[in-house]
Structure 1
């Protein structure tokens, strides 16, 4: 009997080792500081060794992060340097007041001291994540790579959650507060027109701003997208990349259902900051639910935001 048990144990260990090797060959290993449980935590503690889940390899990891940026209108518009690394769970961002510094002086005249007017905004990291499982039967019977399909779907859905929070989040205990909740809208007495947007853009430029993104509600975009100039050319340049819907007066235009209805945000994104406590980590876990023959794709990251460092950098037009 003992000999039989030993044979069964050897066969199980071999099958287990083959499964680990298969996952390792498909995904490799990627260091991460993400928290987890079961096989997930073993993977994070042991890398791609032992009986832990497997960390997705650098090539796949990089590809997925690019997909997140490609699907998120906010991340696409945000300058890379404004995604601030965080050394703790709190990001302290200096915020400027409305004053300007400097003046001309006579030779020999003492330069006057000026107060900076700086204040500090504290942003706390919030976790964004998903765990989605699929059965071994689905994986075996599918004609496509199920792991890739699930991962891509999770990234697409997380990009929407990120846009919802950073554009119009309530700032509750779980989610960041978005740009449209931080700004004070300028109400107008009619529906938003291209002329309203043009005026807003050039008002910001006249105030030494640099508008770099237009976030537009779908209903506004539908109303203005068909407008043409005297030469019968569309006023909105339809040339677009990724989530961009085109450009208007040289400013990239993004349409999102997370922009409040009838509103347009004219934003200088160089003054918008978010915190990055932990970039998205992706873990393939075939062990935690092994008894059910379920593999789980675990994706999570920690972000803090939004901080607007210059009050002149955001103009929101609210139509009627």
Structure 2
């Protein structure tokens, strides 16, 4: 059975940098985010790695792992919230004590998704793919992003509804900051391969595909073991992916690799987030990739959902049972904590 953590007001939140820390010139961003969490009535425990960044990482793998293990084993900490992702989180996985961690939420995306997926696959503890800490530092927050808190407050046995966003951010404009950080200007439209209504049912797994593909063949990416240990025989998996930097051909190679590795066994459908990458190669564009995958797997494909590096994004729970419906460009996600 999946184990669902529970976050409540006045709980302790651990802030650590298992991948990239925050360089000195951006410390003000982190300080703003920490103040927001305290204003929302949480006790913030901020570790040392968040304040440092050198050669693509906050600290050595051992230091990052030890700091994370300390928070994972602290029963008083109910959420671990990294400032953001990075590049080299995978270095710490072999040093994480998965057997000693107490159930608690871990929330984030990008490089953090390697940690999220590894925890859920190895322990059956649900993890949360959603906003980074620095992205909630604003005076206000859009309805899609702010839902992270409601989702993590959902009790085991209950369900939570999320809707697709109304508008999304096409590009950053750091010279003209807004009260809610993001510059939401473009009309959101969730799409399907055949432009028809789609319904998916199953347990959610996924993350940044650039990152989690590197778990294939390691002890931290054993999807078959997760299926045997934590799912019922008649349950299926809904995969969700977001592409940060891959060209269409690299995305295609990666999806074929995941298929050959058995990740799409017992798959009921796949969702892809909006992406500023997906660069075409010789007229081979991302819709070609989606169509080929849908044909090979014979499952529905939904794309341009609110997930990943093109904000805002819904909060998707690895391990949760979900019902997802898309019609006329609008999406609904109901997650059941069972």
> What TM-score, normalized to structure 1?
0.24
Scaled by the length of structure 2, the TM-score of the pair is: 0.23
* Structure ID, larger Rg: 1
Determine which structure has greater relative contact order: mean sequence separation of CA pairs < 8 Å that are 6+ residues apart, divided by chain length.
1
Higher helix share: 1
